[in-house]
A = this chain, B = another copy of it.
């Protein structure tokens, strides 16, 4: 099975350094198809090799085209990134919804492309007209100054996240594992017994409530097996017995 991924197309990019940073951001997100339309300072570029931090050797393939039409010739779906709404009837996607749209089309083996304009001026209307939709990344409306590589990073990042399977929150356990409830309850009981001997519970009436509160607090630690042993050692040490840690 061929896996599809979108082409990143830079129209009239100026500084080679920026093209290299784009390549780096692409490969961070697993994208490799970079297309350059009329790069001002030519191609290949030493500045690009330098700022790409190896991305141009390790996966990203850059190709140069004379026109936007040639660069998108094999594509089925094209979106144009622009911060400004234009006087055209176009679907406006967020970075996230564009990524989901593209993933859906790629599952149908359609080649997609994302157009980025030159650093200062952005895309011209003729290029935007060719696109099926516009991508406008929702950012702080009072400060939208985003450089080219950062714009490519955000769109590429959303494409990667749209298929990412990483669990939302994953507790890292290393070499240890969570304590069983039996290990925890034994620890809590031992603590309560020692606290009783130390005169901690001043009122027999309130002792059950206090124990429940302590159990709740200690449970929130979600101790590992090793940590239960360490905690026994802490109690012993505070008791004046030799800690087992």
User: Given that A139-B29, A171-B89 are known contacts, is A54 also in contact with B164, CB under 8 Å in the complex?
Assistant: no
Give, as a whole number of angstroms, the nearest-CB distance from A235 to chain B.
20
CB-CB < 8 A to A161: which residues of B?
96, 138
Q: Does A53 contact B (CB under 8 A)?
A: yes
A153-B154, A172-B134, A174-B87 are known contacts. Are A28 and B93 too (CB-CB below 8 A)?
A: no
Interface residues of A in 23-64 (CB under 8 A from B): 24-25, 27-30, 53-55, 58-59
In angstroms, how far is the closest chain B Cβ from the Cβ of A213?
Answer: 20
B contact residues around A17 at 8 Å (CB): none
Contacts of A146 in B (CB 8 A): 28
Which residue of B is nearest A157, CB measured?
B154
Q: Is the CB of A140 within 8 A of B175?
A: no
Q: Which of B27, B86, B91 contacts A140 (CB 8 A)?
A: B27
Given contacts A28-B139, A29-B139, A160-B139, contact A170 B89 (CB under 8 A): no
A113-146 contacts to B, CB under 8 A, are: 133-134, 138-140, 142-146
> Judging by beta carbons under 8 Å apart, are B97 and A168 in contact?
yes
A179 to chain B, nearest CB (A): 11
